[in-house]
Chains A and B, each alone.
Chain A
Amino acid sequence: GEDVEQSLFLSVREGDSSVINCTYTDSSSTYLYWYKQEPGAGLQLLTYIFSNMDMKQDQRLTVLLNKKDKHLSLRIADTQTGDSAIYFCAEMLGGYNKLIFGAGTRLAVHP
């Protein structure tokens, strides 16, 4: 079946690293995504990884994929107050690029 799970809340100190975790159930997922949503705004595509990759790095963002365990993580280095937002994990299934989203992880960054 199709299900994406994330923890609901994460609190980190400014300057520390944040790690947001996600598990998915469908082994046929082709791409996995991280989106960021700030209050009152739409979803911003942060990064995505193809299912045959283990890791992708993009500036402060590192995505790790463990396909055996169906586990995806997003690491944000040197977390800043501007990183406070809700982060959504999503998997792409089958034809026509349909996305299945997790419920989102609210990241709070405190001084």
Chain B
Amino acid sequence: NAGVTQTPKFQVLKTGQSMTLQCAQDMNHNSMYWYRQDPGMGLRLIYYSASEGTTDKGEVPNGYNVSRLNKREFSLRLESAAPSQTSVYFCAIGHSSSYEQYFGPGTRLTVT
């Protein structure tokens, strides 16, 4: 997980509250991704950003927004949290020339 940091590590929200998950990298990679991991379902892509200033939807974007603030940072926002968004959220980075993706340590979110 070296080079990719996520904050916070844990968060508990009430239904309807909002919050922003932060991801930062120091590996100078162009692409950044947000995934969610649910039991028995592997990881599913929420949003991705191929480069600074661009973002695109993944498999499960509903209920989320993202911002690629600069090359280093990619944030995920929940405007009105729902219990279905209880999950572990992973940020990943990638570089088109290497085809490798590296993951952050994750944020465990519980919505009650």
Q: Which residues of A contact B (CB under 8 A)?
A: 4, 8, 30-31, 33, 35, 41-45, 48, 88, 90, 92, 95-104
Contact = CB atoms under 8 A, between A and B. Distances in A.
Mostly, the B contact residues are strand
Contacts of B1: 41-42, 44
B101 interface: yes
Mostly, the A contact residues are strand
A35 B43 CA distance: 11
Contacts, number: 62
Contacts of B103: 35, 42-45
B78 to A, nearest CB: 20
A48 B41 CA distance: 21
B96 A97 contact: yes
Chain B contact-residue range equals 20 to 34
A98 B104 contact: no
A97 B94 contact: yes
Given A96-B48, A99-B45, 8 more contacts: A44-B1, A45-B100, A48-B100, A88-B42, A95-B50, A97-B99, A99-B92, A99-B101
